[in-house]
Chains A and B, each alone.
Chain A
Amino acid sequence: MAEYLYTKDHEWVLQEGSRVRVGISDFAQSELGDIAYVELPEIGTKVKQNDTVCSIDSLKSSSEIFAPVSGTIAETNEKLKNEENCEIINKDPLGEGWIFVIEMENPGELESLMNEKEYKKLTEEE
């Protein structure tokens, strides 16, 4: 089974063949608090690793979500289009609360991400 990988910007990544599913970590959702809005990217948008893909608003603050890898946006979580559903990111950040899927251009970029243990160490330092 594929394992969750993480970026330093608190996105998680789960590989599904040539694609990756992306969301925000449990640490990130708890720091942001109640998510009120997610601005989803257009399907078909090409992104480079570390590019801003979309923004996410909680009641307390706004932040940006960056592309963990380069590629093309292949899917977005349509449920998040309804503001009332955005709380699924708080309730199930690593599952139901996924945000988008990228068709990877260079799977080698996954090497640059952290595993769960390394990520946990990062959040404990913050």
Chain B
Amino acid sequence: MSTKTPLYDEHVRLKAKMVDFHGFVLPVLYGSIKEEHNHVRTKSGIFDISHMGQILIEGRDAFDFIQFVSTNDASHFKNGQAFYTLLCKENGGIIDDLIILKYNNDKYFLIVNASNIEKDYSWLKKYADKFSYLKVKNLSDSLGMLALQGPLAYKILNETLGGGKILPAHFCFSEIDFCSEPVIISGTGYTGEKGFEIIASEEGTVKIWKAVLETAKSDVIPCGLGARDTLRIEASYMLYGNDIDEDHTPVEAGIGWAVKKKGTTGYIGKKILTGQKSSGVKKKLVGFKTLSPGIPRHGNTIISEDGKEAGTVTSATYGPYIKKTIGMGYVISGMTEPGSSFIIRNNSREIRAEVVKLPFYKR
């Protein structure tokens, strides 16, 4: 059965095309993916991301626990900061990628992928038993979440909140009251633009959605999962289940920067990950642009110039803003340097492509 988000009625009223996404009914588009995409790049867009999960970690052992279960170094972040990190298995395979909001050393708020809420929660519970002073709470069912993204996001949110508020900077967060409800505002996103992710009660989510649309008029448009995907590919952000999964490690995925440096405290996956960091990996995620017509798709095989199987496409799209067909995929070492070329087998045709540096788009 599919779960309706608090904004379901709004999406239907706006005549969105709805799809099932990991058990949630969500809009894939309202009109055109291209228009929604470019509106976010030039003005702003608002997304219903209520499918995302939220898990609260509290207690005296919270800092040690976060250091142990996630790969990024939590000691680098101050109270009020948000950071990207990963949960990994002992063998380095990725359980999930997530954003953690650090309230203080005793309180962390985790934002996890919809597809992994249950898996993450039981993974965290399993290790939490080893810590004495720790509570793990899954808040996903009671909270809604929005993203307001784009160059006008700051102005719009400020006006919606009545002006004069100090909104959190990039990768910082704060709690504010909106219509006498507590709301978390985080300076994060998944589009490559500046903007905010907003977490509120189900009712609060609907109120904020309506208030933003009313305040910003044509400066903001509702955007669906389609544009969310094309925007994140241009910005070369990972999508769990496409680009990263339990069969790939952060080092292979090129996000080794979110893994603690050698010599820091123990954490799950340390042995494999520090080993891969120092001695390298056999396959690596690269970005590519196409050189011949056609858009490759997830799962297409990558063939080397001498005709050998050399990898797999994980994500690809036509980038509506950069106006190029781009994608990401794992290839064997030796083919990872920018300028290396290969062939992608897509149905009956072959698409030529060349490795390029990531990201494809940076504001």
B29 contacts across to A, CB distance below 8 A: 33
In the complex, which of the residues B226, B320, B349 contacts A60, with contact meaning CB atoms closer than 8 Å?
B226
Give the distance in Å from the alpha carbon of A106 to the alpha carbon of B60 in the complex. 82
Task: Report the stretch among A20-28, A83-91, A93-101 that lies at the interface.
Answer: A83-91
Please give me the residue from chain B that is nearest to A37 by CB atom.
B293
Contact A33 B226 (CB under 8 A): yes
Does A57 touch B at the CB level, under 8 Å?
yes
A55 with B323, Cβ < 8 A, contacts A33-B32, A37-B294 known: no
Those of A53-85 within 8 Å (CB) of chain B:
55, 57, 59-62, 64, 83-84
Contact B294 A62 (CB under 8 A): yes
Please give me the residue from chain A that is nearest to B346 by CB atom.
A62
Contact A57 B226 (CB under 8 A): no
A33 with B318, Cβ < 8 A, contacts A57-B295, A59-B230, A62-B295 known: no
The majority secondary structure among interface residues of chain A is: mixed
Does A36 touch B at the CB level, under 8 Å?
yes
Contact B293 A34 (CB under 8 A): no
A84 contacts across to B, CB distance below 8 A: 323
Please give me the residue from chain B that is nearest to A54 by CB atom.
B293
Number of interface residues of A (CB under 8 A): 17
Q: Chain B nearest CB: distance from A66 CB in Å?
A: 13
In the complex, which of the residues A37, A64, A87, A90 contacts B295, with contact meaning CB atoms closer than 8 Å?
A37
Contact A36 B346 (CB under 8 A): no
Q: List 21 contacting pairs A-B, 8 Å CB cutoff, sorted by A.
A: A33-B226, A34-B33, A34-B34, A36-B320, A36-B325, A37-B294, A39-B293, A39-B294, A39-B349, A57-B293, A57-B294, A59-B33, A59-B34, A59-B230, A59-B317, A59-B320, A61-B297, A62-B295, A83-B318, A84-B323, A90-B32
Does B75 touch A at the CB level, under 8 Å?
no
Give the distance in Å from the alpha carbon of A87 to the alpha carbon of B318 in the complex. 13
Q: 18 additional contacts, CB 8 Å, given A55-B294, A57-B293, A83-B318?
A: A34-B320, A36-B318, A36-B320, A36-B325, A37-B294, A37-B318, A57-B295, A57-B318, A59-B33, A59-B295, A59-B318, A60-B28, A60-B226, A62-B295, A62-B346, A83-B323, A87-B34, A90-B32
